[in-house]
Amino acid sequence: MLRILIVLLFLLIFSNLLAAQQAQSPEQTPIAADPENKHIKVARFSLDAHEGVTLPKLSNESIAVCLRGELLSRASDKGASEVWADAPGNAAWNRSGTAYRIKNGGDLPAEFVVIELKDSYAIDQVRVPHSERDPVSLNPRAIHVVLENEHVRLIRMQLGPRQGMLESQFPMRLEIALRAGRMNRTDIFGKSVELEKKSGDVAWEKVDLISITNSGENLLDYLILELKHPFCYPTGFGFSMPREIDPSMEPYLRTVYEAVQKKWMKESPRAARHEERGIVELAMNIDRTGALSDDDILLHNVFASEALVEVALATVRKAAPFPPLPAIWTKPQLEVRFVFHFGLPKISPGCAN
């Protein structure tokens, strides 16, 4: 009997210690880890009704994004308490070196993520140039800005069932699903990928020129945190060859490269007059006769004004026609990609591996 009482007493003490540890855990660490790379680090936090959490003091600036909750407030060690979220999708900017206390004042559980910007003080980095294919400008009914400063732009995309957005240029970014849903993502070559997201999913994405369609039956509700710096780009004027290219095709490709480079030397002074920064990547399909039509030129990435885009297009148009494709190339067309830089450094600071 005494042995049984001792065991029961031990279990009671253990359960109390476990409960105390669980109650303290929100004060110490996030409940789960999310994507991390050299640019950002994501931590996820969960709060029960009327519960609070003290965020770790970060050396870099960060942004807090509400995933679930109806009344989230915060108080810094340097200021009074304020409400920063009354619905999913709200966000607040957190200063570096400041401790924040987050409280869920609602009657339902809440969840939020904190995204630390590891590059927030790298002021020497190149910032993303303006793009005429900006998603907010092209899709004002579906996309709007939630928060913006010199480091980031947080935008919200809401697409109804079967609704789509125009092809838009995105920089490096973090995508956050506020609701479960399905989307169809299509690139410039017409290749489509079907993606299914759960509510709260967070994913890191690189530079893309894409269109998105809601392929589900419910509202597609998405947050996109775009990084304004660093702007990572291929360096140096040049082209890339298809992976499956026969080495014997290299002399032909060199001829194409030299023809485009010659025209670029004539067109680049016109681009310099605009005094703008930007980059235009394009893919062109040369047919068997060496001809190149406008339909055979596809813009791959565009961080530039339409004036600079026209300079890049004029360069390849004036370089054509090229010599006929060699007989060893049996396909009807040959794809070659070119990169045109406008006022950018020879290297992209902050982008080295």
Least confident of 8-12, 219-223, 314-318: 8-12
Domain interval for residue 191: 135-227
User: Confidence band (pLDDT; 50, 70, 90) for 120?
Assistant: confident
Same domain, yes or no: 186 and 104: no
End position of a domain, from candidates 206, 227, 248: 227
Same domain, yes or no: 331 and 281: yes
Q: Give the pLDDT of residue 14.
A: 37
The most confident of the ranges 47-51, 281-285, 329-333, 347-351 is: 47-51
- Does residue 4 form part of some domain? no
User: Confidence band (pLDDT; 50, 70, 90) for 244?
Assistant: low
End position of a domain, from candidates 67, 90, 117: 117
Same domain, yes or no: 196 and 248: no
Q: Give the pLDDT of residue 28.
A: 39
End position of a domain, from candidates 117, 152, 181: 117
- Does residue 164 form part of some domain? yes
β-strand 278-287 against 333-342: which pairing, if any? antiparallel
Same domain, yes or no: 196 and 259: no
Q: Give the pLDDT of residue 237.
A: 65
The set of residues, in sequence order, having a beta carbon less than 8 Å from that of 67 and lying 6+ positions away, is 44, 88, 111, 112, 113, 176, 178, 199, 200
- Does residue 149 form part of some domain? yes
* pLDDT(242) > 70: no
Taking the model in full, what pTM does it have?
0.85
Number of Cβ atoms within 10 Å of the Cβ of 326: 14
> Checking phi first, is residue 350 left (phi over 0); if not, alpha (psi -120 to 50) or beta?
left
CA atoms within 13 A on the CB side of 32: 11
Q: Quick check: 90 and 102 in contact, CB under 8 A?
A: no
Same domain, yes or no: 249 and 316: yes
Number of Cβ atoms within 10 Å of the Cβ of 16: 10
* pLDDT(159) > 90: yes
Same domain, yes or no: 327 and 253: yes
CATH number, residue 292: 3.30.2420
- Does residue 294 form part of some domain? yes
- Does residue 19 form part of some domain? no
- Span 248-292, pLDDT tens digits: 888 999 999 999 999 998 888 877 777 789 999 999 999 999 999
- Does residue 97 form part of some domain? yes
Helix (H, G, I), strand (E, B) or coil at 100: strand
Q: Which token pair is 311?
A: 């300079």
- Does residue 188 form part of some domain? yes
Q: Is cis: bond before 242, omega within 30 of 0?
A: no
The set of residues, in sequence order, having a beta carbon less than 8 Å from that of 103 and lying 6+ positions away, is 47, 50, 51, 52, 53, 72, 73, 74, 75, 81
User: Confidence band (pLDDT; 50, 70, 90) for 20?
Assistant: very low
Same domain, yes or no: 104 and 165: no
Mean pLDDT of the chain: 87
Same domain, yes or no: 245 and 218: no
- Does residue 81 form part of some domain? yes
Sign of the alpha-carbon torsion through 3, 5, 7, 13: negative
Q: In what order do the strands lie in the sheet with 91-94?
A: 32-36, 40-47, 110-117, 62-68, 91-94
For the chain, what is the domain count? 3
Q: Which residue has the higher pLDDT, 248 or 6?
A: 248
Q: Which residue has the higher pLDDT, 34 or 64?
A: 64
Q: Give the pLDDT of residue 347.
A: 83
Average pLDDT over residues 199-208: 95
Same domain, yes or no: 53 and 86: yes
**Residues pairing with 302 in the sheet:** 280
Same domain, yes or no: 223 and 255: no
Same domain, yes or no: 81 and 36: yes
Instruction: Taking each helix axis as running N to C, give the angle between helix 306-319 and helix 250-272, from 0 to 180 degrees, rounded to the nearest 10.
Output: 140
Q: Quick check: 168 and 157 in contact, CB under 8 A?
A: no
User: Confidence band (pLDDT; 50, 70, 90) for 316?
Assistant: very high
CATH number, residue 173: 2.60.120.10
* pLDDT(3) > 60: no
Average pLDDT over residues 80-103: 94
* pLDDT(135) > 50: yes
Same domain, yes or no: 157 and 102: no
Residue 5 φ then ψ, to 5°: -65, -40
Helix (H, G, I), strand (E, B) or coil at 254: helix
